[in-house]
Structure 1
Amino acid sequence: ANNAYARLLYGQRDIMSVPANGTTASVSSLTLDDVKQFYQQYYSPSVSFLTVVSDQDQAATEASLSFLQRWPAKPVTLPVAAAATQPDKTKIYFIDKPGAAQSEIRVGYLSPLPYDATGDYYRAYLSNYLLGGGFNSRINLNLREDKGYTYGANSGYRGTRYFGPYTAQAGVRADATAASVKEFMKEITTYRTGITDEELAFLQSSVGQSDALRYETGQQKAGFLSRMVEYNLQPTYVSQQSAILKALKKEDIQASAQKYLPADKMYIVVVGDRTKAFPGLSELGYELVELDVNGMPVAAATPLATPPAAGSLPDGKTKTEENGQKVKTKKKSGA
């Protein structure tokens, strides 16, 4: 599911569409000369940094790392990332996995948001928290706690120097595949209409409390320092984030959702048993495209009924919802 989703997000020819650990074909064709060439082309202290968190003092640490000064620097030109694009309309892309007991679902698009610690990216992160960023988010409470379709469902933005995807995802029961897709789209669509006062208060309390524990361990501190170096941040960015969180309004959440959750222009990727999942998916009203295991089309797109308009997704229970076995869990008080 992740591989096919990446191909849709970035295109077949972009390096970002390839799994980080490569493919069978790409790895089997590698030679030692390829590795040496890559090292010579892209490895240099001019594009590197080292973060150390230790009980050893700075002078002793620098002395133990003095050998790095002998590493010669050279200019490095990194590949330019392609511009973020969106599909013209929401479609379902299906990959058959015969006999699968569960279906993997990915819903999202390549957002135009690069990582920004105090800008739109951070506000979008806060906005998504109530939708799919925590255990008590709308998506998880719906698909897990209420419907029992999955052991966990979530959503979130992934930011980099350039841009990253917004993705909602879950592994669900095979017989609840279509119903789960419907609920994902319903939650994303209705979230654009706004949140309640109670939800805003929960967001500010939950995120505020988790932030207080975010920099406790050595690993967390190293990650904090690395982020500052990579994105040229000032140490005050944490207090700036706290101020943004405290000043957050319901209207800010809604504005972010309306701008960065285009429910009518998303990819829906489903990997599951065709005999169990396909019939229900074909009735949801979205154009349906079948892909092979490599994410390549194996059949022409099948035009179906017009996709439901924003806010008009049916909310009546399906047969699966009424008769499906639910996961019995105990709700937690915090995310």
Structure 2
Amino acid sequence: MINKMLDRSKKPQPSEEIPFVLPELNRLRLSNGLEVFFIQFDKLPIVQMYMVTKAGSKFDPKGKSGLSQLFTSLLDEGADEYDSLALNEEFEMLGSVLTSFADQEFVFVSLLTLTENLERSVELFGKVITKPRFDITDFNREKDKALVRILQAQDDPAYLASINFEKIIFGDNHPYGFPEIGLNETVSSITLNDVTEFYKNNFLADNSSLVVVGNIDKDILISNLENRLEVWSTGEQKKPGFPKPVLSTNKIYIIDKEDSPQTEIRIGHLTSNRNNPEFFPKYLVNQILGGQFNSRLNMNLREKNGFTYGINSAFNYNIEASYFYITCAVDTENTFAAVREILDELKRIKKDISADELDFVKTSVIRKFPSTFETYSKAARNYLTIVEYGLPENYLSTYIDNIKAVQLDEVLNAANKYLSDAYLTILLVGDKEKLLSQLKQVDGFEITELDINGNPI
């Protein structure tokens, strides 16, 4: 019966777009100055919250890189009367999950809890924020683990490529040029007093924001937060000066990993920061170039040439300075053939983007957008973007309309304005002898050899 109703001579038409409506964003402030972003989601009886504090690795004192990471690892290792084991058991009995982590800009403390256990979970959460124990035993253990991670990372070509690419891009004197996890010598020098001073000077209520997504009454939430966070210290954070990175002319850097069967490739340059009126054209041109599976770079290097299992590109946005990069791993013998194809794609996209290509990418981005809210954690991370970059409150609610509004000439302009082929940094981590034998395939680039810490040899 159903088959008789189908006309197979006609191409199926796409269904109408289903409107995607986000719940209201409530922006509140506690008595101690802490800003709260609350979004009510009623699908499940859970609450997800993220405390975000401007205390990332860029605030590590000179000679103490890795301090923010070590501090963060200790935040959930005991609070007030609860040692590490007891605190973990308390959260487990509630079915709640507490995690803490840091990046270059921020420290994040995340709490996932059932709505019915919110009061007790927020009580413990408040103790972690306002009364961390920082026991010497926990400090020594976490410091040893940090040193082991550093040692292990030195054997990872992908890590060496990524961390040293940032060092080259930003320079030796910029905080972004230091590894977030630190170096052996810097982490070895960190004391427990360094951790407690970092907490006092940086982990402050008026230097933080809280994003809460979940099934909870707003007034009940605020009452719980006031009760548990009102004692959190406030104060003025001392912000170090940040030197301005300088664009580099075309250069190739090589880090030797003897007998490595693959080469890790990083290619890129500095770019404008996130709060740019041309953000959406920039975003879409990157999607076309290397931001999704059907991108030009992936179709060329993976599907056509078989050089790599995958390649992607992105704009990496920080607060002080940002950069564009392309990343992949290829067979050693195809390294410079891959580099040549990448450079050709960078030149081609400035001249030729079709309307159909742009429409395809816009449709793909729009259809994927609702899935970024499919879990409470994903939804909270989306709202964190507003907090981190100081974006307008309607950024997410107008996101789809802003994508739709981008025109072809704007994307071509963004390609020419924000994708450079004259100020490229190329970093290769692989077998130096085999790489040097291929250098004739790429002209116009100065070659520099580096050690595993990014220092010229």
User: TM-score normalised to the size of structure 2?
Assistant: 0.62
Q: Does 1:75 align with 2:236?
A: yes
1:171, distance to aligned residue in structure 2 (A): 0.9
Q: 1:232 to 1:295 in 2, by over 3 A?
A: closer
Q: 1:247 to 1:59 in 2, by over 3 A?
A: closer
1:222, distance to aligned residue in structure 2 (A): 0.9
Amino acid at match of 2:442: L
Question: How big is each residue's C-alpha offset from its partner over 1:177-212, in whole Å with a ceiling of 9 and x where there is no partner?
Answer: 111111111111111113012211111111111123
Q: Does 1:292 align with 2:426?
A: no
Question: How big is each residue's C-alpha offset from its partner over 1:59-110, in whole Å with a ceiling of 9 and x where there is no partner?
Answer: 33334332211112111132243324211x2111111100111100000012
**Partner of 2:333 in structure 1?**
175
- Comparing 144-153 with 52-61, greater Cα deviation is found at 52-61
Paired residue secondary structure (2:233):
coil
Amino acid at match of 2:451: D
- Mapped to 2, the partners of 1:59 and 1:247 lie a distance apart of 38
Identity over aligned pairs, percent: 32
Amino acid at match of 2:337: A
1:150, distance to aligned residue in structure 2 (A): 0.8
Q: Does 1:134 align with 2:295?
A: no
Q: Does 1:225 align with 2:386?
A: no
**Partner of 1:16 in structure 2?**
176
Paired residue secondary structure (1:77):
coil
1:160, distance to aligned residue in structure 2 (A): 2.6
Q: Match for 1:26 among 180, 186, 208?
A: 186
Q: Does 1:38 align with 2:186?
A: no
Question: How big is each residue's C-alpha offset from its partner over 1:206-251, in whole Å with a ceiling of 9 and x where there is no partner?
Answer: 1111123222210122112222233343442234332332222221
1:14, distance to aligned residue in structure 2 (A): 1.4
- Mapped to 2, the partners of 1:237 and 1:294 lie a distance apart of 39
- Mapped to 2, the partners of 1:190 and 1:41 lie a distance apart of 49
1:282, distance to aligned residue in structure 2 (A): 4.0
Amino acid at match of 1:153: I
Any conservation in 1 of the 2:343–2:421 contact (CA below 8 Å)? yes
Paired residue secondary structure (1:53):
strand
- Mapped to 2, the partners of 1:247 and 1:72 lie a distance apart of 44
User: TM-score normalised to the size of structure 1?
Assistant: 0.83
Q: 1:232 to 1:96 in 2, by over 3 A?
A: closer
Any conservation in 1 of the 2:264–2:429 contact (CA below 8 Å)? yes
**Partner of 1:108 in structure 2?**
268
**Partner of 2:364 in structure 1?**
206
Matches within 5 A, 1:273-292: 273-285=431-443, 286-292=445-451
Any conservation in 2 of the 1:194–1:253 contact (CA below 8 Å)? no
Amino acid at match of 1:159: Y
**Partner of 1:305 in structure 2?**
none
Any conservation in 2 of the 1:204–1:245 contact (CA below 8 Å)? yes
Question: How big is each residue's C-alpha offset from its partner over 1:297-334, in whole Å with a ceiling of 9 and x where there is no partner?
Answer: 11xxxxxxxxxxxxxxxxxxxxxxxxxxxxxxxxxxxx
- Mapped to 1, the partners of 2:191 and 2:230 lie a distance apart of 30
Q: Does 1:144 align with 2:302?
A: yes
Any conservation in 1 of the 2:173–2:243 contact (CA below 8 Å)? no
Any conservation in 1 of the 2:250–2:422 contact (CA below 8 Å)? yes
**Partner of 1:313 in structure 2?**
none
Paired residue secondary structure (2:353):
coil
Any conservation in 1 of the 2:268–2:424 contact (CA below 8 Å)? yes
| Count of aligned positions | 295
Q: Does 1:157 align with 2:322?
A: no
Any conservation in 2 of the 1:90–1:266 contact (CA below 8 Å)? yes
Which structure has the larger Rg? 2
Q: Does 1:64 align with 2:215?
A: no
- Mapped to 1, the partners of 2:281 and 2:454 lie a distance apart of 33
Q: 1:260 to 1:84 in 2, by over 3 A?
A: farther
- Mapped to 1, the partners of 2:367 and 2:321 lie a distance apart of 28
Amino acid at match of 1:291: L
- Mapped to 1, the partners of 2:323 and 2:391 lie a distance apart of 22
**Partner of 1:304 in structure 2?**
none
Question: How big is each residue's C-alpha offset from its partner over 1:140-176, in whole Å with a ceiling of 9 and x where there is no partner?
Answer: 1111111111111000101133331100010111111
What runs of 5+ residues in structure 2 fail to find an aligned partner? 1-160
**Partner of 1:259 in structure 2?**
417
Paired residue secondary structure (2:336):
helix
1:115, distance to aligned residue in structure 2 (A): 1.3
Q: Does 1:189 align with 2:350?
A: no
**Partner of 2:207 in structure 1?**
47
- Mapped to 1, the partners of 2:349 and 2:420 lie a distance apart of 11
Amino acid at match of 1:281: L
Amino acid at match of 2:265: I
1:57, distance to aligned residue in structure 2 (A): 2.7
- Mapped to 1, the partners of 2:388 and 2:428 lie a distance apart of 35
- Mapped to 1, the partners of 2:321 and 2:367 lie a distance apart of 28
- Mapped to 2, the partners of 1:121 and 1:8 lie a distance apart of 25
